[in-house]
Amino acid sequence: MDGIAGFTGGRQRGGVHPRGVGIGGAPAGQAAGNPLALAARRLDWLDRRQAVLAQNVANADTPRFRPSDLAPFAQELAGQMRLALARTQAGHGAGSPASASGARPERRPAEVSPDGNAVSLDREAVRIAETDTAHQLAMAVHQRFTGMFRTTLGR
């Protein structure tokens, strides 16, 4: 399966600078009206989703494991997923990697194995393929807009 290559998290992407500056120089949180910042935010969400889905697949044989997924990107754009508690010390409230990424457990898994595991590899493969397709689209948007800027600047 080609989608497995994305499990390593080794995707190369443009995106948010470590200081919070998005592609195109806009602050990372200001995606409205800036297609490059919106593409960067989408790429960040897709990277986090890929990590959550990879964790689901990695735990496919773990008893009583419930798969997680991120809230839809539209909800994140609306700001519904940006609320977080302040951490005064690094070790407090760290939780799992899935919870740090904003992942939420599935409420009603479609099928549960006798050991209580609710991961469906078929469902996860479809989600991984959707994420990969969306990643390709966001990268294409980013490349087209940077190409337009280069053309405008005469480079």
- pLDDT tens digit sequence for 54-111: 999 999 999 999 999 999 998 888 874 454 555 666 655 554 444 445 788 776 777 8
**What single-letter amino acid sits at 76?**
E
The pLDDT of residue 148 is above 60:
yes
Better-scored residue on pLDDT, 145 or 93: 145
Looking up tokens 């099928």 gives: 111
Containing 45, the helix (H) or strand (E) segment is helix 35-58
pLDDT of residue 35: 79
Q: How confident is the model at residue 135 (pLDDT cuts 50, 70, 90)?
A: very high
- The three-state (H, E, C) secondary structure of 60-128, written as one string: CCCCCCCCEEECCHHHHHCCCCCCCCCCCCCCCCCCCHHHHCCEEECCCCCCCCCCCCCCCHHHHHHHH
Residue 19 to residues 24, 38, 73, 75, 95: CA-CA distances in angstroms? 14, 17, 22, 24, 24
Average pLDDT over residues 111-135: 92
Tell me what pLDDT residue 98 has: 47
Element (H, E) at 136: helix 121-153
- Mean pLDDT value across residues 5-31: 42
Q: Inform me whether the pLDDT recorded for 14 exceeds 70.
A: no
Could you report the per-residue pLDDT of 20-60, keeping only the tens digit for each? 434 444 444 455 578 788 888 999 999 999 999 999 999 99
Q: Which two tokens stand for residue 100?
A: 């740090």
d(CA 113, CA 109): 11
CB-side exposure of 41: number of CA atoms within 13 Å?
Answer: 22
